[in-house]
Amino acid sequence: MKTFGEKVRDARASLGLSQPKVAELTGVSVRSVLAYEKGEKMPRQGTLLKLAKSLGVSVKFLTCDECENPLEDIEKDNYIQQARQRYGAAGARDAQALLNENMALFAGGELSQDQKDAFFEAVMKAYITCKEAAREKYGRR
């Protein structure tokens, strides 16, 4: 099992990226990238999404020591990023919780990538539709 820092360092090295390049792609300082790799610091959720994207891995891979598949649940990351852009950090947390709770429906079964994509898209479309309806009815919070 690898730690967050080891996964960041290994993913960066496997892509042949320098720490300054990862910092540029992620929008943080080189010092922050170094602290991530040393395990001294964890990025905020928004930065974590950018870091995972720049390294071509999923957030789950980076944050779960037991996860060994760099692409596990990567399809969730784009939907969570969309929710963050539209509704901020609270929206991203809500979307993450919604996706995690609904994944339990498929426990024990295997889905193809197309099926996963269709599922996540449907759940997120419903989430966004409900959020927009609430905004129209109750105003922006």
Tell me what the mean pLDDT of segment 86-107 comes to: 83
Side-chain-side CA neighbours of residue 101 (13 Å):
8
Which pLDDT tens digit goes with each residue over 52-94? 999 999 999 999 999 999 998 888 898 898 889 988 999 989 9
- Mean pLDDT computed over 102-122: 76
Q: Is a pLDDT exceeding 90 seen at residue 10?
A: yes
- Per-residue pLDDT tens digits for 32-54: 999 999 999 999 988 999 999 99
**Residue among 41, 45, 42 nearest 97 (CA):** 45
Provide the terminal-to-terminal Cα distance of the chain, rounded to the nearest Å. 42
Q: What was the pLDDT predicted at 140?
A: 67
Rounded distance between C-alpha atoms, residue 13 and residue 7, angstroms: 10
Q: What are the angstrom distances between the C-alpha of 46 and each of 27, 85, 116?
A: 10, 9, 23
Q: Topology of domain 4-63, per CATH?
A: 434 Repressor (Amino-terminal Domain) (1.10.260)
Q: What are the structural domain ranges in the chain?
A: 4-63, 74-138
Which pLDDT belongs to residue 17?
97
